[in-house]
Structure 1
Amino acid sequence: MRKILLIIVTTIVFQSCNFGSSGTQKNESIEASKIQEIKVLNDKLFKAIMSNDIPGVKALFSDKLLTIVNSDLDKLVGTMSNNYPSKSYTILDQYYVSNTAVDIPNTLISGVSGDNDYIINYKALNKEMFTVLLMPTTTHNDALITVIYGKYGNEWKINILQFGQYTLLKKTAPDYFKLAQESYKKGYLIDAVNYITVAKQCLNPAGESFKYQKEQEISNFYDKVLGEAKAKFILPFTLDNIESKPKVFRIFPQMTKDGFMPEICYVSNIKLADTVALKAENEKVKIEVAKTFYGIDKGKTKVFYGAYNEMPDGKKEVMQYRFIEVMNKEKSIKTK
């Protein structure tokens, strides 16, 4: 799984109301002619991004954006076109704002009580502003393309363009927060850690200008469960009830088509070439892991185990022998 949080432009962010704004319209309440004007630009932008056409993207930028955009744009657009190839997009939300002055803060509020409600803050450089949240049509994970246009004379130009992870397996950060809370209530501490870790990966799909109403709750819960897990399980954690003394050094959520499943990485004193002994040890590891990290195997379609002879340091290639437990059946694969 590759996390992306791609921010092209950093703007001044204001936590305030829309002073100087004469009105904000959202989605169906926006005049049809304005929506059509912006759709033409959205189509051009999306086509340029998906074809990795940097000049085509820049052609839609305002002069001010062109003066501050840097070489990162090439990498970011390339990442989007490679990781989220699509021929179409959907619109999550769109907003039109009419201001009585320029260089003022605008605040867009999707709602206040829904799980996925959010706030967007930006500096309005124009009297007329139009914000669109686009998502390439994908099967599993959704990226969010946040486009904020300003009207210069009779032309709309992009003032702000941002990319970020909106969903993983079609669930948002607040969705994973809810799963983490449910796991925590059941006493499944490691599951709670895994779910809240995934939540953090898609918590800011448009940088600092986008905030979920529940962002502080999510961050507080993240700190809470990680603190409890670190206090309870100091890694590497030796499974003392197994004579070979394997040491668990990492547990993380692995993405599968059925959802995020736990992967347990441990250092074994048994040589990876001795697959018979390694498999016998893994049978014991599964039992001890289920007892030690309560709930880790509950309601799962798979649990992954990676046996190593040395702990990876991120600098050199380290071999592992991977066990995949599937519905009480087991497959094993030797990988690097």
Structure 2
Amino acid sequence: MKTLYPNTIKLLSGFLLAAALQSCVKQSGSWRNDQIPGGKRDDFHKLNEQLLHDLKSNNTDDISNLESKDMLDDRSNLRRIEIVGNTAKTADYELYDEFYVINRHRTSDTVENTSAGINSYRLIYNGIEHEMYFALFLPKDKNLPNQEMVTAMYAKYNYGWKLASLNSNTYKINGKTAPELYTVARQKFDKTQYADARLAAELSLQCNAPNDYWQYTHDADAGKIFQEAAEATATHYRFPLTIDDVASQPKIFRIGNQKNSHGWFPVVYYTTKVSIADTNAVKAENMKIRKVINKLLPGIDADKDYMFYSACSKLPLGAGRVDHFDMTVKLR
């Protein structure tokens, strides 16, 4: 099979932070974490430290010195770097996993971490240059319920080691990864808690790809359980769902997930005959709804820290504004 790595890119002028990195491994393959040759790994870590520092300080000029020519030419990367920078400012980040690879061809290649149990994963990528390096960062505080992963992909061009791509995406929601949330959804479904299973599967889908190359090894089909739970919810509950145990008979027309600083939790939207302007009356009715919500939608308030409710004056249709009153309930 033909190797496709001619050095055809012209040298760029200016200060190159990564110029000191020199390859000391010649055969094709991949090396993870402490398998990476020591001196080379130290140099990669210097690049990473500089990148994180520049992201947190919003130093776009210095970040530009780290970027490849292709990244610099693609103006859409300006917005992406801004987004990653905003993510980097939300927490102190540290290296979670790293891979140094020597590619054989430019076709799709794979590296993987098989030691993380249910959270084992692979990175599937195009070998844009002969030598590449992946750095995956997560917050140092492992107790953060919602965690974003920052991923930097470097490549060795003929003008030195440079960033080939940079992105961030959700890794954990409510302290759980996508496979862990999928497991919760499956358990809920098996208990016939269909609405809550649908919400858990929805969260699993939200964090199923922490970066552009990521694929979980145990590729649980969250999309399938979401569809199954959604269909079962529609069949068993038939929205709008009248709350017969409350005299005013409010009607639930939608459920979903909503975020606050503590995580993502269920939100219940319902129409009410009570005047939205009379907030005390709305709250009183809502207290009655809370007492029966688990009977109507089994499991929806179990093992949750919060729930949200939105009482609406009528069923929202189209883009028209509907009067509503939103409530946050702390469950534990």
For the aligned pair, the TM-score class normalised by the smaller chain equals 0.7 to 0.9
- 1:50–1:80 CA contact under 8 A, matched in 2: no
SS at match of 1:232: helix
Q: 1:222 aligns with which of 217, 226, 237?
A: 226
RMSD: 2.9
Q: 1:131: how far off?
A: 1.2
Inter-CA distance 50–287: structure 2 relative to 1 (3 Å threshold): same
Inter-CA distance 236–285: structure 2 relative to 1 (3 Å threshold): same
Distance in 2 of aligned mates of 1:103 and 1:244: 65
The residue type equivalent to 1:247 in the other structure is K
- 2:67–2:162 CA contact under 8 A, matched in 1: yes
Match of 2:89 in 1: 85
Match of 1:198 in 2: 203
Q: 1:60: how far off?
A: 1.4
SS at match of 1:206: coil
- 1:58–1:66 CA contact under 8 A, matched in 2: yes
Inter-CA distance 275–149: structure 2 relative to 1 (3 Å threshold): closer
Match of 2:238 in 1: 234
1:1-336 correspondence runs (5 A): 22-67=28-73, 69-71=74-76, 73-86=77-90, 88-99=92-103, 101-111=104-114, 114-137=117-140, 139-153=144-158, 155-207=160-212, 209-255=213-259, 260-312=264-316, 315=319, 318-326=322-330
CA deviations over 1:105-149 (Å, ceiling 9, x no partner): 321121188211111111112222111112244544222222221
Q: 1:172: how far off?
A: 1.3
CA deviations over 1:93-116 (Å, ceiling 9, x no partner): 1111123x4423321121188211
- 2:80–2:166 CA contact under 8 A, matched in 1: no
- 1:203–1:215 CA contact under 8 A, matched in 2: no
Distance in 2 of aligned mates of 1:64 and 1:325: 49
Distance in 2 of aligned mates of 1:84 and 1:60: 17
Inter-CA distance 287–190: structure 2 relative to 1 (3 Å threshold): same
Q: 1:313: how far off?
A: 5.4
The residue type equivalent to 2:205 in the other structure is K
Distance in 2 of aligned mates of 1:316 and 1:194: 26
SS at match of 1:93: strand
The percentage of counterpart residues that share the same residue type is 27
CA deviations over 1:203-246 (Å, ceiling 9, x no partner): 11113x21112335222222222222233233332334544331
The residue type equivalent to 1:221 in the other structure is I
Distance in 1 of aligned mates of 2:138 and 2:283: 44
SS at match of 1:33: helix
Choose 78-87 or 139-148, whichever is displaced more: 78-87
Unpaired runs of 5+ residues, structure 2, are 1-25
SS at match of 2:75: coil
Q: 1:192: how far off?
A: 1.2
SS at match of 1:221: helix
Q: 1:316: how far off?
A: 5.6
Q: 1:253: how far off?
A: 2.8
Inter-CA distance 44–84: structure 2 relative to 1 (3 Å threshold): closer
Unpaired runs of 5+ residues, structure 1, are 1-19, 329-336
Inter-CA distance 312–91: structure 2 relative to 1 (3 Å threshold): farther
Distance in 1 of aligned mates of 2:150 and 2:317: 35
Q: 1:263: how far off?
A: 2.2
Question: Matched residue pairs, number?
Answer: 305
Inter-CA distance 315–84: structure 2 relative to 1 (3 Å threshold): farther
Choose 160-169 or 115-124, whichever is displaced more: 160-169
- 1:52–1:77 CA contact under 8 A, matched in 2: no
CA deviations over 1:13-52 (Å, ceiling 9, x no partner): xxxxxxx972211111111111111111112222222223
- Structure with the higher fraction of residues in strand conformation: 1
